[in-house]
Amino acid sequence: MRKLLFLSAALLLSGAYAQTASCPKVGGTATIAQNSEPGNLNPLIFPTTYDTNIEELVFNALVKPTADLNYQADLAQSWTFSADKKTLTFKLRPNIKWHDGQPLTARDVAFTLTAIASPKYNGGAFSQVEVLSGADAYHDGKATTISGIKVIDDRTIALSTDKVYAPILATLAGIMILPQHIYGKIAVENWQKDATNRNPVGSGPFKFKQYRSGELIELEANKAYFAGRPCLDRLIVRFGDANTMLAALVKGEVDAAPVPVPSVASVKDNANVKLTVVNQLDFDYVGTNLRNPVLADKAVRTAMAYAINRKAIVTGLMSGYGTVVDTIFPKSHWAYPSNVRPIPYDPALAQKTLDDAGWTMSGGVRSKDGKTLKLRLFYTTGNPVRERGAALIQANLRQIGIQVDLQSMDFPTLVTYLLPKDGQNKPRAVNATDFDLFILGFGIERDPSEYLSYFTADGQPPNGYNFTGYTDAAGGNLLTKAQETVAQTARKALYNQFGLLMRDQLPWIPLTQAQALYGSQTRLHNFAPDIRGVNVNVARWWVQ
């Protein structure tokens, strides 16, 4: 008995020590700002970045990404692949509780995955579970359960796929688990309108407290959190215009806020504000419509890539907070091929490339076989780098005899050109005249398997996001093979090869990769956003 007491005292002490070690101070409130209000807080209904930033504080997934984009335990304590790599068995941590005190079990996991596959679900996440065996049959109403989901006991669940699907951990890292005892009572077709969207009950480090439309979301520490209580007692997320929130940061009304690049000086000069510069997985590119015979000529795309002064975009428009990108992977991604040949800025080489391909200059515009190099470039408004970058690209291309008409529009409008609809409002295939060139950003996920939708013949709209119409089988084969290869080194080699191919063929002309800038008050400690997002280590934030 005495031994037992001694042991528990030691455990208590070590627990207390662990807490003081990671939290120099426990308690207090931190206020952070984001520039847009989240839509709803059900992570399975059309999540946007602004939603996810908050949902990640309230909910958990089975696994979560590490800083180097590997996977670590979240709700799952461990996971094992079967010998044929088609079944993945998760063991949940013991004694996990929802914020309302109910136990979280493997049944909640099964419920969440099954709900997304329901024929009545329309929140946009079905394609994530489609790969599970029997999910399609369930989705089409031909089965009453999903054969690929097996709850073994309260803490164990096995998920099977019909064929080897390497990105399954990445997929599951993106699906936050919902409580069956709450969402199970709401018909899945009504999820989008349900009040739980503004009053979520999760299992994460913070409990939801209140949502004030147009103002804030207030969260309080989950003191019983399985990975240790957060240092803060309370976290407030405010929403407001970028300039206003920056002023609030400088004045000390909020503890952390994104910093727009043009305003970076006001943060640098302020002794109370610390600037954090973070690499991101997003990059901008010029997309080409390969159905247009002019753009189908690789020489034209290559010449454009050589003629665009991407370095000038980084130094001139991004104040140096970014870098040029030479293929369709950002440098901070594991799939980036380090041996990629940089795309040079070389207008003379661009001219020569066009000359060699038979495009002759006349009156400042090149033409060949009756086709002239006159193109429309669509770009989205609201992003100063893209808006001014478009003008720079126009000037760069004019120099080599390509005349570009600029057309700016908001994102939903651009989408109507990229994913066109017919007269009956039904999605149709893209044709050669829908668009020529467009500038967009791409935030690549932790796993590049999504490129299957962007660079294969099957992925062309209306079946996927292959706007450019890239149909080379070589690229598609690499992507398909990578999706079926579980060993990480082999996958990396395949994606590297794909990156090199894209550098050569240029259906997307890669432009630049911006860094994210955050300012934080010096009273807020451990604020360390990284490639995964701004709130990644929120449980370790503490305030003085």
Partner 1 sequence: MLPFIARRGLQGAVLLIIVSFISFAVMNLAPGNAMQTFINPRMSPQEISRAETALGIDKPVPLQYLSWVSNLAQGNFGYSVRNGESVTALLKQRAGPTLLLTLTSFVLIVVLALGIGIYSAARPYSIIDYLSTMLVFAGISIPSFFFGLSLIYLFSVQLGWFPTSGFENYSADHQGWALLFDRLWHMVLPVCVLTLTGTASILRHVRSSVSEALRQDYVRTARSKGVGEVSILFKHALRNGLIPVVTLLGLSLPAFFAGSVITETIFAWPGMGRLLVDSVFARDYPVSMAINTITAVLVIVGSLVADVLYGLIDPRVRLES
- Site residues, partner 1 (CB under 8 A): 29, 31, 36-40, 45-48, 122-128, 174, 189, 192-194, 197-198, 212-216, 218, 236, 238-241, 243-245, 247-248, 250-251, 253, 409-416, 419, 425-427, 445, 450, 453-454, 461-465
User: Would you tell me how many other CB atoms lie within 10 Å of the CB of residue 222?
Assistant: 23
The helix (H) or strand (E) run that includes residue 346 is: none
CB 138 within 8 A of CB 146: yes
Distance in Å, CB of 442 to partner 1, minimum: 8
Distance in Å, CB of 332 to partner 1, minimum: 18
Distance in Å, CB of 233 to partner 1, minimum: 11
Beta strands in 179-252 (DSSP E): 206-212, 216-221, 234-239
> How far is CA 225 from each of CA 51, 78, 228, 230, 250, rounded to the nearest angstrom?
21, 18, 5, 8, 33
Q: Residue 139 has which token pair?
A: 């989705």
Q: What are phi and psi of 495, to 5 degrees?
A: -70, -35
Q: Residue 444 has which token pair?
A: 């690549």
CB 200 within 8 A of CB 100: no
Residue whose CB is less far from partner 1, 349 or 415? 415
Q: Which of 453, 470, 467 minimizes the C-alpha distance to 419? A: 467
- Rounded Cα distance, 468 and 455, in Å: 8
478-491 CB burial, b ≥16 within 10 A, e <16: bbbebbebeeeeeb
Residue whose CB is less far from partner 1, 118 or 156? 118
CA 452 to chain CA mean position, Å: 16
Q: Which of 171, 168, 170, 197 minimizes the C-alpha distance to 183? A: 197
Residue whose CB is less far from partner 1, 153 or 241? 241
Residue whose CB is less far from partner 1, 222 or 521? 521
Distance in Å, CB of 230 to partner 1, minimum: 16
Distance in Å, CB of 227 to partner 1, minimum: 25
Distance in Å, CB of 389 to partner 1, minimum: 21
Q: What single-letter DSSP state applies at residue 114?
A: H
Q: Residue 458 has which token pair?
A: 């099957």
137-148 CB burial, b ≥16 within 10 A, e <16: ebbeeeeeebeb
Distance in Å, CB of 189 to partner 1, minimum: 7
Residue whose CB is less far from partner 1, 273 or 307? 273
Distance in Å, CB of 492 to partner 1, minimum: 20
Residue whose CB is less far from partner 1, 75 or 175? 175
Residue whose CB is less far from partner 1, 366 or 525? 525
Peptide bond into 462 cis (omega under 30): yes
Residue whose CB is less far from partner 1, 235 or 290? 235
Distance in Å, CB of 372 to partner 1, minimum: 27
Residue whose CB is less far from partner 1, 26 or 312? 26
